[in-house]
């Protein structure tokens, strides 16, 4: 059974997609052990509690400096003996020590077809604003392993989504979530849990 930790900053719609996929059997041989947010008010923590999953807030604001926060985050992750860490809208830089310790065991979902509209500064609505400003006809989402760069780790899965006339960043964001993110993130976890993609 793959032990999964999910790191979130906001509403937790991708977390919900994971939980729903586990409940329905789309994700096999995996369970979420802990949900961690940097934001005490994140609705994602409520979603976790509703599923009887431990929900913790570890915020950089609670520590004197980033090094202390990084150590606290890593210590907490270690305590749960996780096989896989899922970044599902986690807007905090992952400490290098954690990336090294959990190499090829941390995955991220990014709301574009990497290498387009990714890297420093491209997160949340900014990704979709960038896609619309460029006039692309197709966007999508990418699940990738996390390395020391920003959105630069090996790609696991991608799914394309058409841009429609009249799209706003918010409308496009919702379509990318529904048609791509909520599909490929659970699929990647299932593949990792069942040996179709090698871990670590």
110 is catalytic: yes
CA separation for the pair 128, 88 (Å, rounded): 17
Angle at the Cα of 138 from the Cα atoms of 134 and 142, rounded to 5 degrees: 100
Residue tagged active-site, from 51, 110, 128, 144: 110
Per-residue three-class SS string for 21-78: HHHHCCCCCEEEEEEEECCCCCHHHHHHHHCCCEEEECCHHHCCCHHHHHHHHHHHHH
Q: Which residues are catalytic?
A: 110
């Amino acid at each position: 059974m793959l032990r999964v930790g999910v790191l979130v900053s906001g509403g937790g719609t991708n977390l919900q997609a994971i939980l729903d996929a586990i409940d329905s059997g789309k994700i096999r041989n995996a369970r979420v052990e802990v949900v961690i947010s940097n934001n005490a008010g994140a609705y994602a923590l409520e979603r976790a509690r509703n599923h009887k999953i431990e929900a913790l807030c570890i915020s950089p604001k609670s520590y004197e400096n980033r090094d202390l926060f990084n150590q606290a985050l890593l210590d907490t992750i270690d305590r749960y003996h996780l096989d896989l860490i899922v970044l599902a809208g986690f807007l905090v830089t992952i400490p290098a020590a954690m990336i090294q310790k959990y190499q090829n065991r941390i995955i991220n979902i990014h709301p574009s077809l990497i290498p387009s509209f990714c890297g420093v500064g491209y997160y949340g609505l900014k990704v979709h604003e960038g896609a619309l400003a460029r006039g692309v006809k197709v966007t999508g989402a990418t699940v990738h392993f996390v390395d020391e760069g920003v959105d630069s780790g090996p790609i696991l899965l991608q799914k394309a989504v058409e841009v429609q006339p009249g799209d706003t960043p918010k409308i496009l964001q919702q379509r990318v979530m529904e048609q791509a993110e909520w599909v490929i993130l659970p699929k990647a976890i299932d593949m990792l849990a069942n040996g179709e993609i090698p871990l670590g």
